[in-house]
Structure 1
Amino acid sequence: MVMYTKISRVISTILERQHVTAPLARQMSFWEKDRRGGYPSTSTEKRSEFWHIRNGLSLLGDELRLFKREVIERFENDPVLLYRENEIDVVWRFDGDEKSLSNWIVTADSDNGEGYSNCRLELTKSGRGLFSGHLDTRLPKTGDIKRAGYCNIKTVRARKSFKREANYDWNPYNHLVMRVRGDGRSYLLNISTAGYFDLMWHDVYHYVLYTRGGPYWQYVKIPFSKFFFASKGRVQDKQEPIPLDSIVNFGITAGDKVTGPFHLEIDYIGVIYDPNHKEEFAYEMYRTDKNIAAH
């Protein structure tokens, strides 16, 4: 920690002497200021203290009910009863309730000034979730954008009562299951395991979901061992299995580089334990001696 502080002071001194602007200095720092990875905050409106107090009191009832449920679950928790073989435990379901949409965050490249795509998440007439929109791979004429054309939905951060951050513990399971109805496009499934330090904020495990299209529902069962590790969209050289006790949120991305409309209808997303699956990790890693480079 002392060495890190000294290095930071040296760099700050160099930047001051060279009259480097503040935005560039922040860009060259070793750490990230917020979890949005450099994107501006979505909320710029200033609120009064009275507004915060009134808003906090309005949320008190929901937080107390959530705390009560936590206490009850603590006493009722029994792994033998809760985690049965080949039985799906649904984590997110669209059952016709508008509240189910509040569990998701919808974004597109146009929201950040990086493209022209747009998307939405809404309920169908049958009460299922419909992730749809229009992908546009055109690049903005800003000169700093190299790739465009993505839409994304992800769940809100797992939390406990009184806004305490929490993680999903999927250790008893080894498969992700979904019931979806697609359009023939491929979608990217994202399992985020953002850690405490800024270096781990953007740790995500990915796997590609291939849809058939057509009028029939598709049951998808994907082993967690098939998900590969990436950070900020880049596949990492050092791969490792998902830490299933540190799941922060789950997301789906449409970005197959094909301009046009897309739609993915979702019934539920859950997890399951299959005792016949023995694979720990699907990707074999080769280790070499130090100072040895392969060609």
Structure 2
Amino acid sequence: FWERDRKGGYNSTRVHMSRKQMILDGLKELKTEIALWQEEVREKFESDPIMVYRPGEVDVKFQFHEPKDLEKWVCTTDSDHGLGYSKANFEISPAGFGLFHGTLSDRVPIDGKIKRAGYANINSMRARKSFKRDSYHDWHPYNMLVMRIRGDGRSYLINIATEGYFDVLWNDVYHFALYTRGGPYWQYVRIPFSKFFLGSKGRVQDKQCPISLEHVTSVGFTVDSRHDSIGPFSLEIDYIGCEFDPTHTERFAYEMYKQDKYIVGT
């Protein structure tokens, strides 16, 4: 019940710098952090929060139209950690949208450590404030995740991380499937947050609970090579947003069969 590392052991390739190099790199970041702090102060004095969430209106949280929009996203594959041979990239497409594409390979390294391989993933960086302070995306007024995408017919996995303070909560991620049609046409995806189920380190948890929308730390997409789906893949994304739908009243879609102890007959 104790987690040694927030990255689950994937920090082994991290370069350890000297204290002097850390100070020099920190000074280079100072200008950017001060500018971010000034923006936070400006927003505080303006104090212009959204007071009314109008039904049917999508508030865009991430859009992918310029290279700078991709700077807060990280693309990884099994080959980055020596666990396979898949390749992927996240870049601006010729049409001017975010393009997550690459090639999946289920070839396993001959090292005797793993049995299966073949995945690629993109993930937004942790929400933070100035001077490297951790923060959260507050999405609690919304109940719908809305996206405009163009896929290749594959099934992808949407990941919404809600990393907690304690170590046992570091890997809490909510998942739901993203089914793409393929072809040249765009599709609008609208998924209730109540449909997302809890997982940790890739395993669905026995005890489920609704997603904590005021503590969202990152959003991501995963594709893997299950069911002989190796080869090239492509997912083009215009934007990711949230919407409030007053007609959707479901809080959580999944029934827990293990009742609380104070319920009679359990």
Normalising to structure 1: TM-score of the pair?
0.83
Q: CA deviation at 1:48?
A: 5.1
Instruction: Give 4+ residue runs of structure 1 displaced > 4 Å after superposition.
Output: none
Matched, 1:271 2:242: yes
The CA deviation at 1:142 is: 2.0
Q: Deviation per CA, 1:134-165, whole angstroms, max 9, x where unpaired?
A: 11112222222122111000000100011100
Q: 2: CA distance between counterparts of 1:135 and 1:247?
A: 29
Within the candidate set 151, 155, 176, 1:207 is matched to 176
Larger radius of gyration: 1
Question: What CA distance in whole angstroms lies between the structure 1 residues aligned with 2:80 and 2:232?
Answer: 18
1:121 to 2:103 alignment: no
Among candidates 135, 139, 145, match of residue 108 of structure 2: 139
**CA apart distance, 1:44:** 1.7
Counting only pairs closer than 5 Å after superposition, residues 189-208 of structure 1 correspond to structure 2 as 189-208=158-177
CA separation in 2, counterparts of 1:174 and 1:67? Answer: 30
- Establish whether residue 238 from structure 1 lines up as the match of residue 207 from structure 2: yes
Equivalent-residue separation in structure 2 for 1:34 and 1:193 (angstroms): 16
Q: How much has 1:202 moved relative to structure 2?
A: 0.6
Per the TM alignment, residue 256 of structure 1 is displaced from its structure 2 partner at its CA by 4.6
- Deviating more after overlay: 164-173 vs 70-79: 70-79
- 2:264 maps to none
Q: Matches of 2:23 and 2:85 in 1, distance apart?
A: 39
For 1:287 and 1:33, the matched residues in 2 are separated by 30
Aligned match for 1:286, one of 253, 257, 261: 257
Structure 2: how far apart are the matches of 1:206 and 1:169?
18
Match of 2:147, SS? Answer: strand
Q: TM-score, normalised by structure 2?
A: 0.92
Percent identity between matched residues is 57
Match of 1:152 in 2: 121
Give the secondary-structure state (helix, strand or coil) at the position aligned to 2:71. helix
Q: For residues 160-217 of structure 1, what are the alpha-carbon distances to aligned partners after superposition, in whole Å with 9 as ceiling and x for unaligned?
A: 0111000111001101111110000000000001111111111100000000000011
SS at match of 1:79: coil
Bigger share in helix: 1
- 1:103 is aligned, of 48, 72, 77, to 72
Match for 2:38 among 37, 48, 68?
A: 68
> Which residues of structure 1 form unaligned runs of 5+?
1-29, 291-295
Distance 1:190 1:160 in 2: 22
Mapped pair 1:78 → 2:49: yes
Displacement after TM superposition at 1:288 (Å):
4.9
TM-superposed deviation, 1:56: 2.4
In the alignment, is residue 90 of structure 1 matched against residue 63 of structure 2? no
Equivalent pair of 2:104/2:231 in contact (CA under 8 Å): yes
Cα displacement (A) at 1:276: 1.0
**Distance (Å, rounded) in 2 between the aligned partners of 1:244 and 1:48:** 38
Q: Give the distance between the partners of 1:287 and 1:237, measured in 2 at CA.
A: 10
* Among candidates 240, 247, 261, match of residue 216 of structure 2: 247
**Bigger mean CA deviation after superposition, 63-72 or 275-284:** 63-72
- The answer to whether the 8 A contact 1:186-1:256 is kept is no
Question: 1:73: Cα distance to partner?
Answer: 2.4
Out of 36-45 and 162-171, give the one that drifted further. 36-45
Whether the 8 Å contact between 1:187 and 1:256 is mirrored in structure 2 is no
Q: Counterparts of 1:136 and 1:68 in 2: how far apart (Å)?
A: 46
Higher relative contact order (CA 8 A, sep 6+): 2
Matching residue's letter, 1:65: A
User: Higher strand proportion, which one?
Assistant: 2
Provide the rounded CA distance (Å) in 2 between the counterparts of 1:289 and 1:189. 30
8 Å contact kept, 1:193–1:203:
yes
- In structure 2, runs of 5+ residues without a counterpart are 262-266
Calculate the aligned-residue CA RMSD, in Å.
1.6
> Which one of the candidate residues 213, 219, 225 is aligned to 2:188?
219
- Post-superposition Cα deviations, 1:213-248, rounded to whole Å, max 9, x if no partner, equal 000111101000000111111101111100001101
